[in-house]
Amino acid sequence: MRHEVRFSGFGGQGIILSAVILGRAAVMYDGKFAVQTQVYGPEARGGASMSAVIIDDLPILFPKVTVPDIYVIMSQEGFEKYGAQAPEEAVMLIDSTLVHSRPQCMCIEVPATREAKNTLKRDIVANIIMLGALAGHTGIVSVNALEKAILDSVPKGTEALNTKAMKLGLALVGKGEKP
């Protein structure tokens, strides 16, 4: 069960943190192997960023994502730079609030930024909404493992907000009720 996941968006959206959380969920709570890499431009906040995670039941011998089978895209520039060439067999979750293009592969539209602003009143948790949607749609990690990894990773005092964001992501792909 090997999956190669590519996250992309702009600096400041939590793209790298998302990949770290996903890898942590796989390794620490689901008993899988994972490796995470990242790329971001010198402009950091606001520029395109990309992070990738490989998750496998077996030890990972080559740590670089070569052909992602799952994409999580949170900005139009991220789509153009890191998602436009997705193979037809891939699955792509896009933040439909900010990404206007659509891939040729299976596309799951998640209005993460809109829901973060309107429902949770904090657009900073859009990445956590996307993680909930990712786990709910693909089953790449268990929801329980993802929740524990989120709680390990977010600043103290934001645990309830981030848990709501994850549950909202699950609800947006039909795997739970809105918090």
Residue 179 has pLDDT above 80, yes or no: no
Residue 176 has pLDDT above 90, yes or no: no
pLDDT tens profile 54-99: 999 999 998 889 889 999 999 999 999 999 999 999 999 999 999 9
- Taking the alpha carbons at both ends of the chain, their separation in whole angstroms is 31
CATH number of the structural domain spanning residue 138:
3.40.920.10
Per the model's pLDDT, the better-predicted residue between 46 and 93 turns out to be 93
Which of 40, 25, 47 lies closest to 134 in space, CA to CA?
A: 25
Dihedral over alpha carbons 65, 70, 74, 75 (to 10 degrees): 70
Residue 29 has pLDDT above 60, yes or no: yes
Number of domains in the chain: 1
Q: Which domain holds residue 44?
A: 3-172
Residue 159 lies inside a defined structural domain of this protein: yes
Residues 6+ apart with CB under 8 A from 33: 26, 27, 55, 56, 57, 58, 59, 60
Residue 163 lies inside a defined structural domain of this protein: yes
Residue 179 lies inside a defined structural domain of this protein: no
pLDDT tens profile 139-161: 999 999 999 999 999 999 999 99
Residue 100 lies inside a defined structural domain of this protein: yes
Residue 33 lies inside a defined structural domain of this protein: yes
Residue 177 lies inside a defined structural domain of this protein: no
Predicted model pTM: 0.94
Residue 43 has pLDDT above 70, yes or no: no
